[in-house]
Homo-oligomer: A and B are copies of this chain.
Amino acid sequence: MYREEIKVLDCTIRDGGLMNKWQFPDEYVKAVYNACVESGVDYMEIGYKSSEKAFSRSEVGAWKFCDDKDIRKVIGENDTKLKLSAMADIGRIEPEDIAPAEDSMLDMIRVAAYVHQIDKAIWLAEHCQDKGYEVTINLMAVSNVMERDLEEALEDVGKSKVPIFYLVDSFGSMYCEQIERLVKKYQKFLPGKTIGVHMHNNMQLAFSNTVTGIIHNCNFLDATFMGIGRGAGNCPIEILMSFLKNPKYKIKPILGVIQDYMIDMQKEIDWGYHIPYLITGALNQHPRSALKWMDNPETKNDFVTFYKQVTDKEDL
């Protein structure tokens, strides 16, 4: 069952930061980093690479920008096998904000884009490649993309030199048959490229859909400690690590971070499986309405009212 090509990418700080505006204590970021190194994780996505013009440091933490000085302050020079990644959102970063890779703590830039932004994403990813970075393109919200638009985007990516392309279940709305079909489509349109998977847990399918990706030869696997991430969260890295048979991966350092930091963190941040996230996932909707609902402690557990509000139906 061991496949050497598989790479595990931890995005605990980047995706988890969507729940607390990237305001994690340095000690926690350092603990996640140490555990990634000790567990044999291949990539750690430490945050977003954003323009200082796009966000204010009075509102968001350092991991929305991923400046080298902030990375160095917390984890030092990273003289390990673990590679560091940052995500770039189209429209929130200027090309000149990205230093040449040889001068940067970062090894990889992942470009996240909606389907209408795919040409900008290809341009930005190739620009980062030219600066010496490993790159991926992560096409978001594919469950809401019309087939013709998807195929046109895949044709464009196929002509690019971007080597890794991600299947992203942004809404946590897909199950195994849909994942299998899209993976095979991506592979058909992108011969020779690596496919990655980034899954959300609205229907408790994040790990399962990642397994479907593994079975169908996806080799970049996103996961987070205890599944932390926006809304229902992501594929829990501790489950993924206990499943992969690659001898380089170890689970114990990850368990240590979960018990030392994340049990308490769960009291402050409401990520994970909750009914409002299930409802938006099952309806193939963006989780923003569920996130807003969960933000009000008075009403967050009134699931029936939320359900009525998002459906206006009486018969589901």
Contact = CB atoms under 8 A, between A and B. Distances in A.
A34 interface: no
A131 to B, nearest CB: 39
A239 B243 CA distance: 24
Contacts of A201: 204
B207 A203 contact: yes
Interface residues of A, number: 40
Contacts of A239: 203-204, 278, 282
Interface string A285-316: 00000000000000001111001000000111
Nearest to A308: B252
Copies of this chain, how many? 2
A260 to B, nearest CB: 9
B301 A211 contact: no
A134 interface: no
A28 interface: no
A255 B307 CA distance: 9
A210 B203 CA distance: 12
B208 A259 contact: no
A242 B176 CA distance: 15
A103 interface: no
Contacts of A99: none
Contacts of A205: 207-208
Interface of A: 175-177, 201, 203-209, 211-212, 215, 236, 238-239, 242-243, 247, 250-252, 255-256, 258-259, 263, 275, 278-279, 282, 301-304, 307, 314-316
Given A177-B215, A256-B304, 17 more contacts: A176-B176, A203-B239, A204-B207, A205-B207, A238-B278, A239-B278, A242-B282, A242-B316, A250-B315, A252-B307, A252-B314, A255-B275, A255-B307, A256-B303, A258-B303, A259-B303, A263-B301
